[in-house]
Amino acid sequence: MSEMFEIAYAAASNRICFFTGTGFSKSITGNEAPSWQGLLDDLCDLHPQGDAIKESLFPDGKIGVLSLEEAAQVISIELASIEKSIHEEVAKIISTVELAADNKHVSDYFTERDFQVITTNYDKLAEKLAGEDRCQSITSGLPIPKSSSRVKVFHVHGSVDSPAKHRGQVLN
């Protein structure tokens, strides 16, 4: 069976599950959602020594010796030293991101179909596309809704609704 047939069958039988990340958010916000490195840059700006941290992690705006996961750990430690939570600060930044006006095809699909989304994103953009009245948003640290819905969105790393529950996790 071809992959395209399997995808079509899953969509037609309401059994499709999308896995989304930063690329999805960037696409549906007209590239306004930050990239991961862009988000880490913004987090560095919250620290009094932010420019020095940024220069050591991302020399000349490039990816440095550390991976982005490792850079996030360093930034988390630096923010904790000034009593800021990386997860709460990410939620503040991400909560300002809005949908672009030209999402008709995606919005039509999200409002006409039943499906699931697994996302690494903190944003609630998938919920906005689907319509919050027909969507369950599931995040660690929050109760799982008892009622069923046509669209279920699973935030595997937390969301703007529950960033503090993930203090022990690395931002990724």
Full pLDDT tens readout for the chain, 172 residues:
688 888 888 888 878 899 999 999 999 999 999 998 999 999 999 999 999 999 999 988 677 789 999 999 999 999 999 999 999 999 999 999 999 988 999 999 999 889 999 999 999 999 999 998 889 999 888 888 777 888 999 999 889 998 865 444 444 4
CA angle 59, 80, 62 (to 5 degrees): 15
Composition of the chain by helix, strand, coil, percent to 5: 45, 10, 40
Task: Give yes or no: residues 70 and 120 share one domain.
Answer: no
Q: For the chain, how many structural domains are there in total?
A: 2
Task: Give yes or no: residues 41 and 65 share one domain.
Answer: yes
pLDDT at 27: 95
Task: Give yes or no: residues 108 and 74 share one domain.
Answer: no
pLDDT at 146: 76
First-to-last alpha carbon distance for the chain, in angstroms, is: 34
pLDDT at 47: 98
User: Does residue 20 lie within any of the structural domains?
Assistant: yes
Amino acid at 119: T
- In terms of C-beta density within 10 A (0-12 exposed, 13-18 middle, 19 or more buried), how is residue 79 classed? buried
**What is the extent of the structural domain holding 131?**
3-32+99-166
- In terms of C-beta density within 10 A (0-12 exposed, 13-18 middle, 19 or more buried), how is residue 113 classed? middle
User: Does residue 172 lie within any of the structural domains?
Assistant: no
Separation CA 34–CA 27 (nearest Å)? 11
User: Does residue 148 lie within any of the structural domains?
Assistant: yes
Are 172 and 157 contacting, i.e. CB atoms less than 8 angstroms apart?
yes
pLDDT at 165: 53
